[in-house]
Structures are given as C-alpha cells and as structure tokens.
Amino acid sequence: MANVLTIFLLISTLITGIFWISYRIKNIKNYLINKKIIKNNHLNQKNTVKLKNKIYFFESLASFFPIFLIIFIIRSFIYEPFQIPSGSMMPTLLVGDFILVEKFSYDIKEPITHKTLIHIKNPERGDVVVFKYPKDHHIDYIKRIIGLPGDKITYNINNKHIKICTNYLNKKKCQEKLFINYSKPESSNFIQKIYFFNKKDKLEEKKVYNSLYFDLIEENINNIKHKILLLNNINNPKKDFFQQENMPKLTWIVPKDEYFMMGDNRDNSLDSRYWGFVPEKNLVGKAIKIWMSFDKNENEWPTGIRINRIGNIY
C-alpha cells in the first residue's frame, strides 16, 4: 500500500510538473489569447469560451504541481505517517496511535526501489523502527531493535529474558556481555483476550474464554530503558521459534548488515524470534512521535481521542 501511494504521488508530480513547465516556458495563456483570440477576430463567442476554458484547465492542473512536489519530497525523504494496527508494541505504542517516521534517520533512499543514495548513520539499539517485512515487502512492520550486526542473542523461554554478547560474529567469542536488567513485574491494565471457536449449525461462533492481565516490566539494556509486557503464565512452544543454520534453538548470531527486532508486547509479537533477521535495506525509518491517538481496539471504530499520548516515542 505504501509503495502504491508513492507511485501515485510520483506519477501525479510528473504529470502536473509537465503541465507546469509547459505553461511557464511556452506561456500557453498568452499564446492562446494573443495569437488566436486577438488575431482571429472571426472567432465566434462560443470558440472564445472554449479557448478560455482550455486556458483555465491548464492553469488549474499546473497549480497542483507545487503541492504534489512538496508532499512527494516530504513523504519520500523526510517524514511519513503510519498508523499502528496491532498491539505488538504495547505499552510503547497502542492500537489507534498515528506515528511520524523520520525517513532520513539512517539513509536517504530512492523512494520506489528503496536503494540507498546517501548513508547518514547506523541504527542504534533500542530504536523503534518501521521496516519492510522480510517475507513480504508489501507489508510494513514496526518493532524495536534489540540486536545489532554481530550480536549473539540468547532467549530464555522460561523467564522470557534475553542475553546479548556483542561483536560475536567477527571474533567468534563474546567481546562484551551487555548489562540487561529486568524490574519486578507490576500489574497493568493491559489485557489479552483468549478466544475459543464453537461450531454450531455450520456457523463458527467466536466467544471470549478468558482475559489475562499483562505484567508491566522495565527492560534495561546497557542503560537503554523501555517498558515491556509479559504473560508469564503463557509460553510459546519452542518449535515455533526461528532456528538459525548451525545454531541451537533460541540462540541467534545477527549477520552483517542485519538486525534482530522484537516487539515490546513480548507474548503477542510476531518478530525476529519467529521469522529471522531484518536486512538494513528493509528499514524505512525511525519512529519519533505520536501525532494523533484514537481510543480504539483492533478492527473496531474509535470511541475517542487520547490527547495524553501525543508526543515523543521512547
């Protein structure tokens, strides 16, 4: 969808740009009025009206060019708005949040093929980023960068904590174990609804079986702090996790120019633990601000506006 809109803006900019340039260089208005209306006095009033309508059409179409050009440049190279459709980044981002993504945080990329034109800087651990889903580039995901290139990451399926050793890829040994600390769990108002499906008369009936409350925990990775949610009474089967070649389950070494992403809602996030790494070329930009937030649930209409959520993303 994002690419379709980008292509539409590009085509609209090119078409209106052609009319704008033609109008400015050839001076269509003066050409038509002076050369045809004034010189050809035999033209009747009907033809004169047609020519004036044609002039107005050219003027109107050309006037859209600066608007399309500004929108295209801002959206392709500077900032792009996104909507949060799921709860995988709770409590940092909620369903109904509208965020602003800084496109030039890491690279300036060509907007259609996403080829890097100018490299700005490398992503940092803890950044919340939008990226193209590696298995389907038409889908945008948003997660937090947990592992950088060369990191060795180990995930404990029991307590759901992580361990990180840096620069493991090059040295084949742990250069530095990052300090990772977890606060004591606190109760939260975030809930996970558990459903069951009951078939009656060939119809599938969906009912809420139970609602579980998430524990709110602060994760501190080398003094980079953020809140995460855990459901400690639910464990995902070990077989569901992505296994890297020549590596044991739940241990990954992040390849060069790739990143390991995780959602802050750890038990409700389809992330690198399940499908692998994100190449640097897939990064769209860094999420920096919430500019609007509607009070809503997934696949439901908004019921209000959450003014208190507007601001920076941490």
Which residue among 76, 86, 88, 272 is the active-site one? 88
Tell me, yes or no, if 63 is annotated catalytic.
Answer: no
Decide if 211 is catalytic. no
In this prediction, residue 21 carries a pLDDT of 81
Identify the pLDDT of residue 128.
97
pLDDT at 206 (0 to 100): 54
- Of 132, 143, 152, 286, which is the active-site residue? 143
pTM of the model: 0.82
pLDDT for position 41: 53
pLDDT the model gives residue 39: 52
Mind giving me the DSSP string for the chain?
-HHHHHHHHHHHHHHHHHHHHHHHHH-HHHIIIIIIIIT-TT--HHHHHHHHHHHHHHHHHHHTHHHHHHHHHIIIIIEEEEE--SSTTTTTS-TTEEEEEETTTTEEE-TTT--EEEE-----TT-EEEEE-TT-TTSEEEEEEEE-TT-EEEE-TTT--EEEEETHHHHSS-SEEPPEEEPPPEEEEEEEEEEEEEEETTEEEEEEEEEEEEEEEEEEETTEEEEEEE-TT----GGGS---TTS-TTEEEPPTTEEEEE-SBTTS---HHHH--EEGGGEEEEEEEEEEEEE--TTS---EE-GGG-EE--
The pLDDT value given to residue 249 = 93
pLDDT per residue as tens, the chain (314 positions):
556 777 888 888 888 888 788 777 666 555 555 555 545 555 555 565 665 666 677 777 788 888 989 999 998 899 999 999 899 999 999 999 999 999 999 999 888 888 889 999 999 999 999 999 999 988 999 999 999 999 999 999 989 999 999 988 766 777 788 999 999 999 888 887 665 555 555 555 555 556 788 999 999 999 999 999 998 777 788 889 999 998 999 999 999 999 999 999 999 999 999 999 999 999 999 999 999 999 988 878 889 999 999 998 97
Q: What is the pLDDT of residue 31?
A: 55
